[in-house]
Structure 1
């Protein structure tokens, strides 16, 4: 397992949360520029979240950091289990689920920044 420094993890987590907090048009533009589907935003969050769970268990990051991110993970879990198609650009623009996700991601990013503020380079 590759060990990531806590500050590097924090920067990565904030980057992913910021993308999830973008408005719908910014999110669509983001995934189009990357040449990926909208589900990639969720996959990136999942990678970071799972890494954070391990880092928390090792005592490398504060529990409060992960607590801020849990609501985003829960929303994404519900979206994944939903029977309606939520992994489309149309859904990003129009669904209640995506709006809820953006709000949760914005709150999570603000919470992470409060718990462990980082210095801009």
Structure 2
């Protein structure tokens, strides 16, 4: 993949937050478009968060913003595990309290970082 610039890492983070903050209907359209499973929403965020590790000063992420990202990560982690598979169904995107919380947190983070939460969903390359 090579080394990503700070602006590329920033865009990955914003794209991941846009996915998590999108309405459930839009998330389902995105999932169907790329023929991926619901987990991909969280995986995109996880990948972006890993890319950000150690670079928050370079891209001006303050502690408040990092706290919001950590909280999203924590909620997604709580939704994970063998006993939690129901959180990851297509239907759960619209009905699950965890997804509602993630959506609200992602929107809050986007407003803080970008001034708006309603952003276009990113294109991705799926390697099969």
TM-score bin, normalised by smaller chain: 0.7 to 0.9
SS in 1 for 2:91: helix
Report the CA distance between 1:44 and its aligned residue. Answer: 0.7
Compare 24-33 and 73-82 and name the one that shifted more.
Answer: 73-82
Question: What is aligned with 2:60?
Answer: 62
Task: State the distance in 2 between where 1:111 and 1:69 align.
Answer: 11
Contact 2:21–2:107 under 8 Å retained in 1: yes
Q: Please, what TM-score do these two structures have when normalized by structure 1?
A: 0.81
Per-residue deviation, 1:82: 7.3
Equivalence for 2:2: 2
Point out 4+ residue stretches in structure 1 off by more than 6 angstroms.
none
Aligned residues: 112
Aligned to 1:35: 35
TM-aligned CA distance change 1:62 to 1:92, over 3 Å: same
What residue is the counterpart of 1:79 in the other structure? 79
Distance in 1 between the 2:61 and 2:30 partners?
A: 30
Q: Larger helix proportion, structure 1 or 2?
A: 1
Structure 2 counterpart SS, 1:54: coil
- Measured after TM superposition, the shift of residue 8 of structure 1 is 1.7
Unaligned runs of 5+ in 1: 115-121
CA RMSD for the aligned pairs? 1.9
Alpha-carbon deviation of 1:5?
1.6
Whether the 8 Å CA contact 1:21–1:106 is kept in 2: the answer is yes
Q: TM-score, normalised by structure 2?
A: 0.77
Name the SS of the counterpart of 2:14 in structure 1. helix
CA distance in 2 between partners of 1:66 and 1:6 (Å): 16
